[in-house]
Chains A and B, each alone.
Chain A
Amino acid sequence: MSTPADQVNGDRRRAPPVAGPPRLCRHRSDRVIAGVSSGIAEHLSVPVLWVRVIFVALAGLGGAGLIGYALLWAFLPATEAGARRPSTTRDRQQAVGLVLLGGGLALAGAAWGTAWGGWVTGPLGIALVGAGVVWREADASQRTRWRSGAGVLSGAFFGGGRMALLRVLAGIALVTSGIAVFLLNQGNLGQVRFALLAAAATLVGVAVLTVPWWLRLMRALGEERRARIRTEERAEIAAHLHDSVLQTLVLIQQQSDSAREVRRLARGQERELRSWLYGPQGYGTVAQTHTGGPAVAPAFAAALHAAAGEVEDTYAVTMQVVVVGDCALEDPLPSLVQASREAMVNAAKHAGVAEASVYAEVEPGQVHVFVRDRGAGFDPAAVAADRHGLADSIRGRMQRHGGTVTLRTSPGEGTEVQLAVARRKGGEEA
């Protein structure tokens, strides 16, 4: 049973990765052949012995364990980081014994004549051991390469000194001779068929021997691609910061003797950066994967934010905009946004305070907007007849669309303009 706090933590993308099961990979430091078993054991948090025993048991079933092991070896990435618990000498002896037992079981299974297990005995078995030796050596040379930072090609096979070279050559010899003996055993072949088979066998042999090299090449390409994406991303962020933040900071320094101008610039930049970071198409936005059909961007909230932004820019004030719900900007709503903008302008011009609150709520039937300041306030009865802002721009506009305007103000008490308009029938709520 997880607590709400746990779920929150799980959902936070910026939090460091919580300790889940370790990634499935091969452990170099805890290996007997290639570290597959210890990697699996750590991933599943079971004793490594169990994993090894299971591989041995599977090896008896027509060599399935051997094939499985080889595939995991090829496709699991190796880590340089050591296993959590170091392997003891006893562990290693046990493991070597298990390896021999697995080989023996595979041979025994084949000898008893399991339907398709016969390939393990005889020359192909030898070729297999040879391939194993070469692969293991390639693994070791990669570690050396990591340490020395040598290139991909030079370190591919021959990074481990003379003994390593000998081991690789021995592996190649085993593979070659295994394949050769296999071919020679196919006694009753014509010359042409023998030549074809020999060519194919050579190709297979080369392919098996060079598997580590191919895999490494592919991984290197993948890494390079990731690095390029990271670089591009970094360049994009740098360009954005340069175009916006840096320019604004320069402007602020130039205008530093005008507090009003500094505030206007800072607020405008803040708004821009926020929408870049957190906005609907923002930089930090999660890609919407569950799109059912074309994504229609609900536009009312965006329009209201834009209107507030214009007022902030023009009058150097701060508008605290809070919008609950959102919907498409359909017919009466553009007028509502315009009227709200007018109310914000009034607050910015006449209230004499640097901040005002805008709250909008989209309900299924109607949309409310409240524009409130804690400024001077006024006496509605005493407004000169030639002042048109409230009368025309707000009241008239709202009445034309069947909306209502409520004004709450008195001198010294601040002002709140409440706007409400009914939504057209059939409007989809977002």
Chain B
Amino acid sequence: MTAETSEDRGIRVFLVDDHALFRTGVKAELTRAGAADPDGPPVVVVGEGGSVQEAVAGIGHLRPDVVLLDVHMPDGGGAEVLRRVRPEAPDVVFLALSVSDAAEDVIAVIRAGARGYVTKTISGRDLATAVRRVHAGDPVFSPRLAGFVLDAFAQRPGAAPVGDPEVDLLTPRERDVLRLLARGYAYKEIAAELFISIKTVETHVSSVLRKTQLSNRYELSRWATDRRLV
């Protein structure tokens, strides 16, 4: 697919954030960290948008590989961009980048189709790694997102019955992987800890992402709204 081309021209990133100052900062960080790193294709910022309109137009026109998406914006925020762009450009990958740690934002944007969620406190180097990872098709779970998902799928007394075990329950292994993610472990460390390959870790995380997007068991969105924690 894009494997050869991204070696040549790098991973093309589009920035969406309504704060121009923040866009400038991320662009500088990404350009520095993304170009210098030897262990992957370079990360190049090809465009940016300051509103939902600009983002939809820019993404449709430029067809970037990865979109870094702010969650809170006027006119509906990141979820609105996802809703409008995804049908037209299904191979563009979205990574949510937000200052907010509110559960409802995290879960909402994941369920709208983002492949990962990182907070704005992330370092430029880590951000470049996260961009490479989502571009390669793997989800990016910050420790907090892992914690939210664990909490949302927790087995509580009196909880709603399982509708479809295929999407409504996490396997014990997926739970282990999520716990380690929440403890701040990197994929490589998780693989070593659980005696599995990195590829298997990625498979588990992808599966968790799919379940988070599809499961209605605990009405995840309402769970997230009820539980606004830092």
Interface window among A120-128, A184-192, A320-328, A333-341: A320-328
Task: Choose from B101, B154, B216 the contact partner of A278 (Cβ within 8 Å).
Answer: B101
**B184–A320 CB distance below 8 A:** yes
Report B212 CB to chain A, min CB distance, Å: 9
Q: Give the interface size class of chain A.
A: 35 or more
**A324–B182 CB distance below 8 A:** yes
**B157–A9 CB distance below 8 A:** no
Report A94 CB to chain B, min CB distance, Å: 40
**A11–B83 CB distance below 8 A:** no
| Cα–Cα distance between A16 and B73 once the two chains are bound (Å) | 11
Give chain A residues whose Cβ lies under 8 Å from the Cβ of B111: 4-5, 8
Name, among B121, B143, B229, the residue most crowded by chain A CB atoms within 10 Å (CB to CB). Answer: B229
Task: Choose from A284, A324, A361 the contact partner of B228 (Cβ within 8 Å).
Answer: A284
**B112–A320 CB distance below 8 A:** no
**B143–A5 CB distance below 8 A:** no
Q: Does B9 contact A (CB under 8 A)?
A: no
Q: A277-317: which have CB < 8 Å to B?
A: 277-280, 282, 284-286, 301, 305
Chain B residues within 8 Å of chain A by Cβ, number: 43
Q: Does A393 contact B (CB under 8 A)?
A: no
Q: Does B102 contact A (CB under 8 A)?
A: yes
**B143–A322 CB distance below 8 A:** yes
Given contacts A279-B229, A318-B121, A372-B184, are A4 and B213 in contact (CB under 8 A)? yes
Residue of B nearest to A372 (CB): B184
Given contacts A357-B183, A370-B183, are A429 and B156 in contact (CB under 8 A)? yes
| Cα–Cα distance between A278 and B229 once the two chains are bound (Å) | 6
Report B177 CB to chain A, min CB distance, Å: 13
Give chain B residues whose Cβ lies under 8 Å from the Cβ of A277: 102
Q: Does B150 contact A (CB under 8 A)?
A: yes
**B221–A429 CB distance below 8 A:** no
**A325–B104 CB distance below 8 A:** no
Q: Does A359 contact B (CB under 8 A)?
A: yes
**A359–B143 CB distance below 8 A:** yes
**A320–B144 CB distance below 8 A:** yes
Q: Does A242 contact B (CB under 8 A)?
A: no
Report B158 CB to chain A, min CB distance, Å: 10
Interface window among B11-19, B21-29, B39-47, B74-82: B74-82
Given contacts A278-B102, A280-B229, A322-B144, are A14 and B107 in contact (CB under 8 A)? no
Residue of A nearest to B224 (CB): A11
Report B167 CB to chain A, min CB distance, Å: 10
Given contacts A4-B214, A275-B230, A279-B229, are A12 and B147 in contact (CB under 8 A)? no
Report A298 CB to chain B, min CB distance, Å: 11
Q: Does B88 contact A (CB under 8 A)?
A: no
Residue of B nearest to A430 (CB): B156
Q: A241-297: which have CB < 8 Å to B?
A: 271, 274-275, 277-280, 282, 284-286
| Cα–Cα distance between A7 and B143 once the two chains are bound (Å) | 25
**A278–B184 CB distance below 8 A:** no
Give chain B residues whose Cβ lies under 8 Å from the Cβ of A361: 150, 179, 182
**B83–A5 CB distance below 8 A:** yes
Residue of A nearest to B151 (CB): A324
Q: Does A163 contact B (CB under 8 A)?
A: no
**A285–B156 CB distance below 8 A:** no
Give chain A residues whose Cβ lies under 8 Å from the Cβ of B207: none
Give chain A residues whose Cβ lies under 8 Å from the Cβ of B222: 11
The interface bits of chain A over 353-378 (1 if a CB of B lies within 8 angstroms of the residue's CB, else 0) are: 00001010100000000101010000
Report B192 CB to chain A, min CB distance, Å: 11
**A15–B79 CB distance below 8 A:** yes
Instruction: Apart from A8-B111, A359-B143, A361-B150, list 12 A-B contacts with CB within 8 A.
Output: A4-B221, A9-B108, A11-B104, A13-B225, A15-B79, A277-B102, A278-B101, A278-B102, A323-B229, A324-B150, A324-B154, A372-B183
| Sample (14) of A-B pairs whose CB atoms are under 8 Å apart | A4-B221, A7-B216, A9-B112, A11-B221, A11-B222, A12-B108, A14-B77, A15-B77, A15-B79, A286-B226, A286-B228, A320-B184, A323-B229, A359-B143
Binding site for B on A (CB under 8 A): 4-5, 7-9, 11-16, 271, 274-275, 277-280, 282, 284-286, 301, 305, 318, 320, 322-325, 357, 359, 361, 370, 372, 374, 416, 429
Closest 8 CB pairs of A and B: A357-B184, A322-B147, A359-B183, A8-B221, A11-B221, A8-B108, A274-B230, A324-B151
